[in-house]
Amino acid sequence: MTCQTSSAPRTIAFIGAGNMASAIFGGMIEAGYPASHIIATARSRETLDALEQRYGVNTTHDNADAVSRADVVVLGVKPQMMHDVCQALTPAVQAKKPLIVSVAAGITCESLERWLGGDLAVIRCMPNTPSLVGVGASGLFATPQVTDEQRALMDDMLTAVGIVEWVEEEGLLEAVTGVSGSGPAYFFLFIESLEAAGIELGLSAETARRLAIQTARGAAEMAFTSEHEPAELRRRVCSPNGTTERAVNSFENDDLRDIVARAAKASSVRAAEMARELDQ
């Protein structure tokens, strides 16, 4: 993977290289992006040492220095820290005018551009942590200042770690947050629940976990590769008057669809709420 639109790979600074940012650049490096063109920043020396060791990326505590060397700046700090981090970066950002990318839930492009001094190309991204294993899902929105070349660069970066969906309205990123940004946690919770059910039914903890994880993996792989829609794949597991039909009826009677819809909505409502709370 080269992530380039001219001859040399771009230098990308990840400001706040925690779980999400490192999942992205870890996946990019795995796909062939040169670690020498990635700069990661964090507060603690422990985090930076671990990133250097694991990925071979450049690291620094100095966010402004990282920005001054970057073509693309990916903001990966917690939403609550974003305002202060951006304000401290304004001189470096205005001197260099890199493409600004934020992965923070909730924070709008308008807030980011204002906090960073204005007149910037901004892409807002809602990725997810399976990017680390190349199976991420990212929703992206670009402001009008973003050039086709910058869009293509970002598309390349994230396609290396999963699928990419561009949305034409920024507000739709809240829906993306509710479905795929938070989504891995829903599936982990389902795996945890199925594992617990297996233990309750008499399996050892190890066997229950192995079966639950492999079943989730197999179902996702089938849904991903099959020509049939998920509902049809489900029907094919349900023999008439068989065991699965009984279990699926139990889910339907307990309103699983409604439970899932309410959870996804709660996530997206929280994203909108955070945008209001954190705009200053």
Ligand X SMILES: O=C(O)[C@@H]1CCC=N1
Residues comprising the binding site for NADP(+)? 15-20
Binding residues (CB under 6 A) for ligand NDP: these are 15-21, 41-44, 47, 63, 76-79, 81, 85, 103-105, 126-129, 181
Q: Which two tokens stand for residue 36?
A: 């020498």
275 binds ligand X (CB under 6 A): no
Min CB(84)–ligand NDP separation in Å:
7
Min CB(148)–ligand X separation in Å:
28
Q: For strand 122-126 and strand 136-142, is the pairing parallel, antiparallel, or unpaired?
A: antiparallel
Min CB(210)–ligand X separation in Å:
27
Q: Which is nearer to ligand X, 23 or 105 (CB)?
A: 105
- Contact indicator for 13, 71 with CB cutoff of 8 Å: no
**CB hemisphere CA count around 206 (13 angstroms):** 0
**What does 85 interact with, of ligand NDP, ligand X, none (CB < 5 to 8 A by kind)?**
ligand NDP
Amino acid 241 reads: N
19-30 and 45-55 helices, crossing angle to 10°: 20
**What does 78 interact with, of ligand X, ligand NDP, none (CB < 5 to 8 A by kind)?**
ligand NDP
182 binds ligand X (CB under 6 A): yes
Q: Which is nearer to ligand X, 76 or 198 (CB)?
A: 76
**Consecutive H or E run containing 111:** helix 109-115
* 130 DSSP 8-state letter: G
Residues belonging to the binding site for NADPH are: 63
**What does 17 interact with, of ligand X, ligand NDP, none (CB < 5 to 8 A by kind)?**
ligand NDP
Integer angstrom CA distances of residue 135 from 27, 121, 223: 9, 27, 14
Residue range at the interface with ligand X (CB under 6 A); choices 37-45, 162-170, 175-183, 203-211: 175-183
Write down the residue that tokens 């990635």 correspond to: 38
Strand, coil or helix: what is 2? coil
The site for ligand X (CB under 6 A) is made up of 105, 177, 181-182
